[in-house]
């Protein structure tokens, strides 16, 4: 398998697939793209990635883009660690969380980019819009975790835990105000070995 990621190892979506591959213990190689140079829009990459974005996974003669599509494909195709819950309602909830995090919270994603996660915090305060988005995020996450278990689906880890931890850590690792229980949750997910492999990648200077 070949996984295309950004050269800064900063894409949360590439991270999600990287973690999934490691959780499945699948051998793969990485090719990095310099997104700032427009490499993702090159004709060669366009033949591989329909979306012209990272990540893209090439499994034999099958290229696939969009991180949640890739993780679902890996979950359904390969044995080993499950990436989604076994129970249908929990599985639907995990996919709901993934879709929610990818389609919402633009103020947070804009003002607390993944540079915060992998290069260090920014001193710029959150805007009113970002603070409002954060309150929606916190309320949703607290409700999702109200069962008291360590993961979104109770005792069963899933790839959506990584995605939620990324969104929360945009704020946690920047020193923004976050409920203590969500800090503990995000920190616990961040220490997962497969996540730490991504966190500790050698990154070029910005």
Q: Could you read off the pLDDT of 84-119 as tens digits, one per residue?
A: 999 999 999 999 999 999 999 999 999 999 999 999
pLDDT attached to residue 73: 98
Tell me whether residue 135 is in a domain.
yes
28 lies in a domain? Answer: yes
- Work out the average pLDDT over 127-153: 97
Q: Residue 179 — pLDDT band, cuts 50, 70, 90?
A: very high
Last residue of a domain, one of 31, 58, 81: 81
Q: Is the pLDDT of residue 13 over 90?
A: yes
Same domain, 52 and 74: yes
Model pTM? 0.96
**Percentage of the chain exceeding pLDDT 70:** 100
Please identify, among 34, 58, 81, the residue that sits at the C-terminal boundary of a domain: 81
The model's confidence at residue 206, banded by pLDDT at 50, 70 and 90, is confident
Average pLDDT for 65-93 = 97
Query: Which positions ≥6 away from 81 have C-beta within 8 Å?
Result: 23, 24, 25
In a domain, 110, yes or no: yes
166 and 130 in a single domain? The answer is yes
What CATH number does the domain containing 146 carry?
A: 1.20.1050.10
> Does 201 reside within a domain?
no
In a domain, 144, yes or no: yes
Query: 128: buried, middle or exposed (CB in 10 Å: 19+, 13-18, 0-12)?
Result: exposed
Query: Of 64, 81, 98, which residue constitutes the final position of a domain?
Result: 81
Give the total number of structural domains in the chain: 2
Percentage of the chain surpassing pLDDT 90? 95
Q: Closest Cα partner for 192 from 171, 170, 162?
A: 162
- Residues 110 and 174 both lie in one domain: yes
């Amino acid at each position: 398998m070949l996984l295309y990621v950004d050269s800064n190892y900063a894409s949360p979506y590439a991270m999600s697939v990287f973690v999934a591959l490691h959780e499945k213990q699948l051998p793969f190689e990485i090719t990095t793209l310099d997104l700032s140079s427009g490499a993702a829009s090159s004709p060669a990459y366009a033949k591989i990635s329909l979306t012209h974005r990272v990540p893209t996974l090439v499994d034999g003669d099958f290229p696939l883009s969009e991180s949640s599509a890739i993780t679902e494909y890996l979950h359904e195709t390969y044995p080993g660690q499950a990436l989604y819950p076994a129970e249908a309602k929990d599985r639907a909830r995990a996919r709901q969380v993934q879709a929610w995090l990818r389609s919402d919270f633009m103020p947070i994603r804009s003002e607390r980019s993944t540079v915060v996660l992998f290069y260090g915090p920014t001193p710029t305060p959150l805007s009113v819009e970002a603070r409002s988005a954060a309150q929606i995020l916190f309320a949703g996450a607290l409700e999702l975790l109200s069962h008291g278990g360590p993961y979104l689906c109770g005792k069963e880890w899933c790839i959506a835990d990584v995605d939620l931890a990324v969104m929360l850590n945009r704020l946690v690792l920047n020193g923004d105000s976050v409920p203590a229980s969500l800090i503990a949750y995000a920190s616990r997910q961040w220490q997962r070995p497969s996540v730490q492999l991504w966190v500790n990648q050698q990154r070029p200077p910005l």
